[in-house]
Structure 1
Amino acid sequence: MINRHTTFFKALNLAIDYIILNISMISIYFIEDGASIYFGNNRRYLPIVLVFNLIWLLAANISGLYEQVLNKDSIKTYRVVIRTYIIFVSLICFTILILIGTEAYFITRQYLFYSLALFGFLLGLWKLIFLLIRRADWKSMVDTRDVIIIGAGRIGYDLFHFFEHNPDKGYKTLGFFDDNPKNVKEGQLYLGGTEDCIDYVIKNKVDEIFCTLPVSEAKTIEKLMLDADKNLIRFKSVPEYYDYSKKTTIIQSLGHIPVISFRTEPLESLLNRSIKRLFDCVFALFVILFVFSWLFPILAILIKLESKGPVFFTQVRSGRDNHPFKCYKFRSMKVNNDSDHKQASRDDNRITRIGAFLRRTSLDELPQFFNVLKGNMSVVGPRPHMIKHTKQYSQLIDRFMVRHFLKPGITGWAQVQGLRGETKTVDAMLKRVEADVWYLENWSFLLDLRIIMLTVWNSLKGDENAF
């Protein structure tokens, strides 16, 4: 079936893309420098090679280039390729030309231009070749398997409809086995009772058996499983509690006892938490030393000149595991008695002029990098809410408290999706919670980098919901 080949073709695309990238760089090196020094021994260019390769990986992750490589049509494939290439070039220009500088490694802008242009051409040509190969060999990529379903109840029919609506999975359902023929709505799909199953499978060379019988039929399930093993037939069982969650579940074994987790949490891994914490500390120190240190006195003077009150605004908010903590911000409002229960709104008369600028550019959040160093916040995570709102929305939204499995963040997936600012309705908060839970279930280090980059971009171009 297709999903058995997806990993291979994803790896193939990644490998060839990297080969093309490095061939482009080496080729232009020989053309421009006349190959006076062997490329591998030239210390001027090796750092650039490393930068190019790492940035391509980041750009591909941001655009989702290697997702569903066998399912995307030609137009969508090229659209994603072009988007990835534009992100890649932008990051290269920003990193090499601005942060590092071409003089640091004695490379020329001509080298950068020609190597990027050649890479773009070869990349487009390779994707065209891949699409042609994929189209020609599409059927050979699909390892279609004949299967039967034992049990024609709700679960059995859910599985049947899934196979029907997802032919790319490669399963062809021959029919149902059920002790009650009336359960099978389509007469031609009824193949017999459960005792007839194994004989039919052997006679018709069926590849797999999917059993959807309830737990109450444990003895029948066990006998079918043993008979399938004896006859070298793959036997799979669908638990009746599968629909407690509409998302992908994880099954772990504690000895011989299967335990189902209804939510993936990458940050439950100690390694992932360590990576995130290390990055938080390094990034927070960088911002505090190189941005906050010189920007603070300027902003402090402007805040004090415009209105009376402290430079910093401190508020108790809900943290990880719903533990309260003091969250720091630059004060963006006049001192008032409503700050602990009333959200900022558009044209809020409490917001000062400098405060409006700070909120629009998210500079008011800069002091929260000290929260990051203290360990009660992360650079990326769900935004912390006021205690009052946590109590209010936890009663209205079922999964609201799930977001508190993570440390709150200075920025988050909800914010870069435009789900920020005042939440006038429960539905608006629900969308924000759904984005936060999605982040919880799909965390990766590259996703954090993507969110940070999008946050910087949104701050530069302005966000209509930032007020």
Structure 2
Amino acid sequence: MIEQYNKVNRVANVLIDYLLLNSSLIIVFNFLHHSSFQWLTDRSCLNAVVIFNLLWLFAANLMGLYRLHLDGHIVAKAVKTYLVYLTLVWYIMLFVSHMETYNISKEFLFLSLALYALLLIIWKVFYVKTVKYSTVLHGPLKKAVIIGGGGTGTELFHRFKNNLLGYELLGLFGDKPLTTATCDFYLGNISACMKYVVENKIDEIFCALPFSQQSTIERLIRHSDKNLVRFKLIPEHFDYFQGALRAGNLNKADVFSIRKEPLENVINRIVKRAFDIVFSLLVIVLVLSWLYPILYVLIKAESRGAVFFVQPRSGKDNTTFNCYKFRSMYLNEDADSLQARRGDSRITRIGRFLRRTSLDEMPQFFNVLLGDMSVVGPRPHMLSHTEEYANLIDHFMVRHFIKPGITGWAQVNGLRGETQTLDDMRARVEADMWYMENWSFALDLKIIFFTFFKTLKGDKYAF
């Protein structure tokens, strides 16, 4: 039920978003030209339709608009996606507007973008406000009950009441004492469950009993099957796991993975590695080939020492590799143990510029080409910090399941630079784990886009 609803949710959003986009283009064109069908033979209009649709597709994938489950954030996500789309449209128009086949008037551009913004926001607000109670998209509400009044059942109850769409929760059965919040929904002991289910024509049962009550669970399954009631098992302590459990099979034994890892798929690894090789080669040939001689002179002129700073860092599977950077500090004995701080006296003048613009990280594209790093991934830490934080933060080492990156999800969300407190590092680790569990090629492109944008804009955390 939940999976089906999410699919319908995405399809409905995609179709209507594109319907509104193209409707706004056609409506504005007809308004300006006082014609209903002239747009069908106007090459400029047709080209604009193609470009605008492709740019919206790119912006929506970049922002993950259609991966979002329905909640109040969908409106904010739509606004952010539109702003990225608007930026892309204006940039593209600057390059193609002089071409005859893309000769689009400013009035058409402004009015169509404004109309689409208005229609998009109205649609998203309407969608969020009404779809929860709609039977059109997800059909009649499924009547459900929960069996199990322990911690797992109580946690599931709260999730039902907060944001689980498509269900009408009628109550909870359990033999253990219930919390105050669930008492009003208490329907009786487990032995009374099946009678209630049959009499009230319940559609689904969510069983949150511990697996130690195997005989009770088996009896409930038999009765559910006999009465055409769908029976679903909830793993004990499911709320402990941050992500969705992934079901698998090992020689006819059911196996649950505590987190999804898209990069465990060999095809995904090939795609990511191929992109790393192509992207790093382009940067090395097109940028570093002329940037290196300039920085060589500037770095050498200000302070003695090598142009490159080479430091052992923690890589995939916690293997050690040599990470390359342009040297941004005077030679010092604390380079391998002490993080750079704001106003650090060890940083040279040219080093401040390199660090502020992140140009000091450019040699790491050689690490990417060699296979030690990826363009996008968790930032590699000094060996001493890996050892220190592994003992202080749960799940810290999980970030080493994948290759470290030049930039990452943590960095584009402001979690970069000096970690002054343990909570700062926890937040960075959580962001790295989220990236690992939600990786996609589109997400990598999104992170690269925002890294480039932040570099141009200036990042206050870069020092």
Kept in 2, the 8 Å contact 1:163–1:169? The answer is: no
Q: Does 1:173 align with 2:167?
A: no
* Structure 1 residue matching 2:206: 3-state secondary structure: strand
Q: 1:453 to 1:187 in 2, by over 3 A?
A: closer
1:52 equivalent in structure 2:
52
1:294 equivalent in structure 2:
290
Kept in 2, the 8 Å contact 1:177–1:197? The answer is: no
1:156 equivalent in structure 2:
153
* Structure 2 residue matching 1:433: 3-state secondary structure: helix
How far apart are 1:453 and its partner, in Å? Answer: 1.6
Kept in 1, the 8 Å contact 2:152–2:237? The answer is: no
Deviates more, 1:301-310 or 1:12-21: 12-21
* Structure 2 residue matching 1:396: 3-state secondary structure: coil
Structure 1 counterpart of 2:390, one-letter code = S
Structure 1 counterpart of 2:256, one-letter code = I
1:338-374 Cα distance to aligned partner (Å, 9 max, x none): 2222221222222111111000000111111111111
* Structure 1 residue matching 2:419: 3-state secondary structure: coil
**When the two structures are aligned, how many residues end up with a matched partner?**
457
Kept in 1, the 8 Å contact 2:262–2:440? The answer is: yes
* Structure 1 residue matching 2:171: 3-state secondary structure: strand
Kept in 2, the 8 Å contact 1:176–1:184? The answer is: no
2:111 equivalent in structure 1:
117
2:356 equivalent in structure 1:
360
1:463 equivalent in structure 2:
459
When normalised by structure 2's length, the TM-score is 0.87
* Structure 1 residue matching 2:415: 3-state secondary structure: coil
Kept in 2, the 8 Å contact 1:265–1:442? The answer is: yes
2:122 equivalent in structure 1:
128
Q: 1:136 to 1:148 in 2, by over 3 A?
A: closer
When normalised by structure 1's length, the TM-score is 0.86
Structure 2 counterpart of 1:174, one-letter code = G
Structure 1 counterpart of 2:57, one-letter code = L
Q: Give the whole-Å Cα distance in 2 for the aligned partners of 1:38 and 1:171.
A: 48
Q: Give the whole-Å Cα distance in 1 for the aligned partners of 2:185 and 2:26.
A: 60
Q: 1:80 to 1:151 in 2, by over 3 A?
A: closer
Structure 1 residues 25-64: aligned runs within 5 Å: 50-64=50-64
Q: 1:151 to 1:414 in 2, by over 3 A?
A: closer
How far apart are 1:222 and its partner, in Å? Answer: 1.0
Root-mean-square deviation over aligned CA pairs: 3.3
How far apart are 1:25 and its partner, in Å? Answer: 5.3
Structure 1 residues 65-464: aligned runs within 5 Å: 65-66=65-66, 70-72=70-72, 77=75, 79-97=76-94, 100-103=95-98, 106-108=101-103, 110=105, 114-115=108-109, 117-125=111-119, 127-128=121-122, 131-132=125-126, 135=129, 139-141=133-135, 143-166=140-163, 168=165, 170-178=167-175, 191-464=187-460
Q: Give the whole-Å Cα distance in 1 for the aligned partners of 2:331 and 2:346.
A: 8
Structure 2 counterpart of 1:248, one-letter code = A
Kept in 2, the 8 Å contact 1:319–1:384? The answer is: yes
* Structure 2 residue matching 1:209: 3-state secondary structure: strand
Deviates more, 1:144-153 or 1:298-307: 144-153
Q: Give the whole-Å Cα distance in 2 for the aligned partners of 1:217 and 1:360.
A: 60
Q: Give the whole-Å Cα distance in 1 for the aligned partners of 2:232 and 2:312.
A: 51
Kept in 1, the 8 Å contact 2:412–2:451? The answer is: yes
Structure 2 counterpart of 1:17, one-letter code = D
Structure 2 counterpart of 1:88, one-letter code = Y
Q: Give the whole-Å Cα distance in 2 for the aligned partners of 1:241 and 1:339.
A: 44
* Structure 2 residue matching 1:313: 3-state secondary structure: strand
Structure 1 counterpart of 2:72, one-letter code = K
1:410-444 Cα distance to aligned partner (Å, 9 max, x none): 11111112221122332222221121111111212
Deviates more, 1:44-53 or 1:267-276: 44-53
How far apart are 1:330 and its partner, in Å? Answer: 1.0
Kept in 2, the 8 Å contact 1:2–1:170? The answer is: no
* Structure 2 residue matching 1:447: 3-state secondary structure: helix
Unaligned runs of 5+ in 1: none
Aligned residues with identical type, % of pairs: 48
1:136-175 Cα distance to aligned partner (Å, 9 max, x none): 6753347433323333223222223332333645231333
Kept in 1, the 8 Å contact 2:373–2:403? The answer is: yes
Deviates more, 1:9-18 or 1:129-138: 129-138
Q: Give the whole-Å Cα distance in 2 for the aligned partners of 1:49 and 1:132.
A: 25
Q: 1:376 to 1:274 in 2, by over 3 A?
A: same
How far apart are 1:85 and its partner, in Å? Answer: 2.5
How far apart are 1:116 and its partner, in Å? Answer: 5.4
Q: Give the whole-Å Cα distance in 2 for the aligned partners of 1:342 and 1:253.
A: 46
Q: Give the whole-Å Cα distance in 1 for the aligned partners of 2:167 and 2:174.
A: 21
